[in-house]
Chains A and B, each alone.
Chain A
Amino acid sequence: MLKATGIAKSFGGNEILRGISLDVERGELISIIGPSGCGKSTFLRCLNFLEHPDAGEVQVEGVTVASTGQWRRADEARAHRLRGHVGMVFQSFNLFPHRTVLENVMLAPIQVKRMAEDRAHQIACELLEKVGLAGVKNRYPDRLSGGQQQRAAIARALAMKPSVMLYDEPTSALDPELSEEVLSVMRALDAEGMTQLVVTHDMRFARAASDRVLFMEAGQIVESGDPDVMFANPREPGTRRFLRTLL
């Protein structure tokens, strides 16, 4: 359902991504792990074209965006269509501080999808209920804990009815207790059949919740497979080295 082919990206002569390909099945939860600077976040951001890859192609729900290095207006228009199927959650939450939690969730459906306000309100309330924030929906983001903010950010992304959710280190800014609030929401979504790609440093979560784990190093996917197998018995020396330093 999401297919990336040959994604390459350089920043000022540094090759960050060296032609990465990935095929994601509907309903999969994939964790992407790897050392800092290996390109995992950049890869994730290339999937919804927050970064424009120098080369490669992304296909989601029948929308294909190919990049030839020159980013044109037509490419942006196609990327805009593709983003309609992709939700994203950031390490620093990036909630809109000048709007309440409820308004954060309602904003895009109303403005982008031209949804009627009462309908958007109903959907937002259901989503906030689901992530456990019904009681604080009228607060401004700065009155919420980090865990609550990240759950609000997930609700905000879900309100656009994406087919796939991208998470860029969703719990790195949170202490373990608050991380768990967020991870349990992601597990619940997995149980509902949501397709999710998670860049994470949380090995416990990667191992316990993922259907598949990708290990990235130096701009490439070095190893991928079943989490239990990979964590117990990494095939590649790079993976082994990485896991050893962590565990």
Chain B
Amino acid sequence: MKRVMFALALVLSVFWSMAGLDGRAVAEGTAAAETKAAAPAAVPLRVPGAVDDHDLPWASDGEANVPYVFHDPAHEGRMTGFEYDLMQAISARMGRHGRFVQNGWDGLIPGLSRDLYALVIDGIEMTPEHKAAVLFSRPYYVTVDRIVLRNGETGLDTLEALKGHVVGTIKSTAAERLLLDHDPANVRSYDEETNLFSDLKNGRLDAILIDEPIALYYRSDDLKLVGPPIGRVAYGIAFPKNNPGLRDAVDSVLGDLISDGTLHQILARWNLWTPQMADYTGDQSLLSVKPTAWTDYRQTMERMSGSSMKAMVQRYVSFLPLVASGALMTLGVSALAMVLAVAAGLVLALARAYGMAPLRWLAGLYVEVVRGTPLLIQVLFIFYGLPAFGLRLSPFAAGVLSLGLNYAAYEAENYRAGLLSVPRGQMEAAIALNMTHIQALRLVIVPQAFRTVVPVMTNDFIALLKDSSLVSVITLTELSQTYIRLSSTYYDYIGTGLMVATAYLLVGLPFVRLARMAEKRMGRVVAKGHH
């Protein structure tokens, strides 16, 4: 028992220390924008009022989000993008320290209401639905939707002409709504731009309708933009409903950036200044700004995604630190979650096998509920739901907790089977030797149960290692997330896939070895069988 309690105390103390980390990380105000990709627990928990006014944490989904906010392919650890440049300009103008916070697209708005950051900028369209959930700044970018075709195709250059053809787009966009109104049966909605464009190239799609910036940046040489602009899309910066003060402040800075031409310059560097922007801002001037950001990006991508030996080596070497830090995150979350799962699982199993009636029922209820609901729901519930009850956990702690508590239910059943497999005579012999029940469990029953559960535990740990990819939904960049980002940035699913698969194996192998050693050590005992 003492050992079990110790394990629990260890797990708990790890949680507290992680919770403690938050305040510190914010206070340090780390070289902000240069947020290291996938630095462990990189997203601090922000407690309103506890943050100094200097800090301006802002969120976006920087995974394959060209040209908005994305990882600079020339320096994988650095963020870039036209929204990124805009946020740098805004925070500088406000005299504050802009700090990029990575969050998945689906979690951006929930994170805003959870106070994880002050604002969100990620090409969010100012639709009535969005306006109901958040406060918007004035538009910082106005654009249109464009049709993209394969070079050989002709004629599909209007919405009418597209009727009856399979058209792809990104989900929850103005383009998607247009297509659904027009010809719902033939719409294909994607999460990722990269997948969308590969499917057009390989013929799964006949056309793409998408925001112009995306069309410009993801179009490769074998694709073309056709037809006149369609519709109008306005992006706004999103704020939580309870912070109109910040919205107004940002709005006024944005007004300055528009009137003094700063926004024009930023967009021009990204080759994104359009007639629509000129109309919106009333700024019809022609700047002599070269689209340097645009050409840099094109050149780097050409160099990096080349299939020459040199390009490939260069690419994979540049991936190594990212894959390593993803692996570290996967390992950290999984190992701590497993410690928690083992400790909590043992307590649950003992309660179910030897506890008093109410305890037994509670443990049984826990196991059924946790096994019967999806892990993804549990992760989201613990991270976004628990703050409603006053419990705010850092993403890392929430990841460890949800994975650990989920696997505890499986471990509990595994251990219970192990406990019940120990013959009754063992308990009787221990009691007859004047041991207490607790001593009998600790010295006689649990050690014997352990030997039968080790092989299953090994399986569980491998499964946990892979399930840890689910914590990417709460902003943790682990191995799978790293794979998704790298592969979709460089259209390289095979090379990066092999790298990440190798990393998974390297992370999992030590545990398999460890389990095998434990099995071997107990092998002589296992060989015996029971009477």
Contact = CB atoms under 8 A, between A and B. Distances in A.
Interface string B40-57: 000000000000000000
Contact of B524 (A88, A107, A142): A142
Interface in B477-527: 522, 524-525, 527
Interface string A58-93: 000000000000000000000010011011101011
Contacts of A137: none
A140 B524 contact: yes
B278 to A, nearest CB: 81
B435 interface: yes
Contact of B431 (A83, A140, A173): A83
Contacts of A84: 434
Interface residues of B, number: 24
A98 B434 contact: no
Contacts of A107: 433, 443
A36 interface: no
Given A83-B431, A142-B524, A160-B433, A94 B425 contact: yes
B439 A112 contact: yes
Contacts of B451: 98
Contacts of B423: 92, 94
A145 B525 CA distance: 16
B528 interface: yes
B302 interface: no
Contacts of A160: 433-434
A94 B434 contact: no
Contacts of A142: 524-525, 527-528
A123 interface: no
Nearest to B528: A142
B525 A98 contact: yes
Contacts, number: 68
Contacts of B462: none
Contacts of A151: none
Given A50-B432, A83-B431, A83-B432, A97 B425 contact: no
Nearest to A139: B524
A232 to B, nearest CB: 35
B431 A97 contact: no
A111 interface: yes
A9 interface: no
Contact of A157 (B433, B435, B444, B448): B433
A157 B525 contact: no
Interface string A80-124: 100110111010111111100000000110011000000000000
Contacts of B432: 48, 50, 83, 86-88, 90, 157
B425 A92 contact: yes
A156 interface: yes
Contacts of B435: 108, 111-112
Contacts of B434: 80, 83-84, 108, 112, 160
A16 to B, nearest CB: 17
A93 B528 CA distance: 14
Interface string B421-444: 001011011111111100100011
Interface string B394-424: 0000000000000000000000000000010
B428 A97 contact: no
Contacts of A80: 434, 436
B480 to A, nearest CB: 39
Contacts of B527: 142
B531 interface: yes
Contacts of A90: 425, 428-429, 432
Contacts of A96: 426, 429-430, 444, 448
B447 interface: yes
Interface string B181-194: 00000000000000
A98 B431 contact: no
Contacts of A48: 432
A189 B430 CA distance: 22
Interface-centre pick from B428, B432, B524, B528 (highest chain A CB count, 10 A)? B432
A166 to B, nearest CB: 8
A58 to B, nearest CB: 14
| Most interface-central of A97, A108, A142 (chain B CB within 10 A) | A97
B528 A97 contact: yes
Given A97-B448, A98-B522, A160-B433, A111 B428 contact: no
A140 B444 CA distance: 14
A97 B433 contact: no
A140 B436 CA distance: 24
B428 A94 contact: yes
A98 B433 contact: no
Contacts of B433: 107-108, 112, 156-157, 160
A90 B426 CA distance: 10
A96 to B, nearest CB: 6
B418 to A, nearest CB: 13
Contacts of B443: 107, 111
A160 B431 CA distance: 12
B528 A92 contact: no
A98 B452 CA distance: 12
A50 B522 contact: no
B441 to A, nearest CB: 12
A84 B434 CA distance: 6
Interface string A148-177: 000001001100100000000000010000
B302 to A, nearest CB: 64
Nearest to B447: A98
B439 A98 contact: no
A42 to B, nearest CB: 13
Interface of A: 48, 50, 80, 83-84, 86-88, 90, 92-98, 107-108, 111-112, 140-142, 153, 156-157, 160, 173
**Which 9 residue pairs spanning A and B have beta carbons closest together?**
A142-B528, A94-B429, A108-B433, A88-B432, A94-B425, A83-B434, A92-B531, A112-B434, A98-B525
Interface of B: 423, 425-426, 428-436, 439, 443-444, 447-448, 451, 522, 524-525, 527-528, 531
12 contacts: A50-B432, A90-B428, A90-B429, A93-B531, A95-B429, A97-B525, A98-B522, A98-B525, A108-B435, A140-B528, A156-B433, A160-B434
Given A97-B528, A140-B524, 17 more contacts: A80-B434, A87-B432, A90-B428, A90-B432, A92-B425, A92-B531, A94-B423, A94-B426, A94-B429, A96-B426, A96-B429, A97-B448, A98-B525, A140-B525, A142-B525, A156-B433, A157-B432
